[in-house]
Copies of this chain bind each other. A is one copy, B any other.
Amino acid sequence: MNTTAPRINRCFKLAARPVGLPKRSDWHYEQHPVAEPAEGQILVQVSHISLDPAMRGWMNEGKSYIEPVAIGDVMRAGAAGHVIASRHPRFAVGDAVVGVFGVQEYALSDGKGVNKVDTQLVPLPVYIGTLGMPGMTAYFGLLDVGQAREGDTVVISGAAGAVGSVAGQIAKLKGCRVVGIAGGADKCRYLVDELGFDAAIDYKADDLRKALRQHCPKGIDVYFDNVGGEILDQCLAQLTRGARVVICGAISQYNNTTAVKGPSNYLSLLVNRASMTGMVVFDYAPRYGEAMREMAGWMAAGKLKSREYIVNGLDTFPEALLKLFAGENTGKLVLQVAD
Contact surface of A with B, Cβ cutoff 8 Å: 63-65, 228, 233, 247-250, 253, 259-280, 283
Which residues of chain B are near A65, meaning CB under 8 Å? 270-273
A271 near B64 with CB under 8 A, answer yes
Q: A259-B264, A262-B262 are in contact. Are A249 and B270 (CB under 8 A)?
A: yes
Chain B residue at smallest Cβ distance from A272: B278
Residue of B nearest to A225 (CB): B270
Copy tally for this chain in the complex stands at 2
A267 neighbours in B (Cβ, 8 Å): 228, 247, 250, 253, 260, 278
Contact of B276 with A275 in the complex, beta carbons under 8 Å: yes
Contact of A262 among B247, B263, B275, B277 (CB under 8 A): B263
- How many angstroms between the C-alpha atoms of A273 and B260 in the bound complex? 18
Min Cβ gap A225→B in Å is 10
Q: Which residue of B lies closest to A54 (CB)?
A: B270
Tell which of A248, A267, A270 has the most Cβ of chain B within 10 Å. Answer: A270
Identify the closest chain B residue to A63 (Cβ): B271
- A260: which of B247, B249, B265 is its contact (CB, 8 Å)? B265
User: Residue on B with the closest CB to A64?
Assistant: B271
Chain B positions within 8 Å of A261 at CB level: 262, 264
Among A65, A277, A279, A280, chain B packs the most CB atoms within 10 A around the CB of: A277
CB-defined A-B contacts under 8 Å, sample of 7: A228-B267, A260-B264, A260-B266, A262-B262, A269-B277, A269-B278, A274-B278
A270 touches B283 (CB 8 A): no
A-B pairs with the 9 shortest C-beta distances?
Answer: A262-B262, A270-B278, A269-B278, A275-B277, A262-B264, A262-B263, A276-B276, A259-B264, A260-B264
